[in-house]
Amino acid sequence: MESTNLLLLLLLVATLVLPFLVLLSRANELFTLDVTQGKVSVVRGKVPPSLLRDACDVLRHVERATITARMENGRPIVRAKGLSEAQLQRMRNVVGRFSKTSMSRR
């Protein structure tokens, strides 16, 4: 097979596989929040209003952050970029008060 055909084949495979991998990686995601200058917005997922209010309280002094909650081993796990350890723990506490059914994507 000539190198041009091989390159086209690899490009075709990448074009077909990458969207599938993105969907697969988000399969267990509950929600993603974006924080800019203390303002919280929901990027993806469904967030109960009371959880969002509590999150806004925790994040009101955060300049810039991204918070993602996903289900792992039957429990919500919170990961973040841009939060201190104390802020991250507060977000874990907030998310941990909610059941997975109240946050499940429908």
What's the pLDDT tens digit per position in 65-99? 999 999 888 888 999 999 999 999 999 999 988 86
Residues 6 or more apart in contact with residue 72 via CB below 8 angstroms: 28
Q: Which of 93, 90, 65, 95 is nearest to 80 (CA)?
A: 65
| pTM for the structure as a whole | 0.71
What's the pLDDT tens digit per position in 10-52? 888 778 877 766 665 666 889 999 999 999 999 999 899 999 9
Domain chopping of the chain, boundaries: 28-103
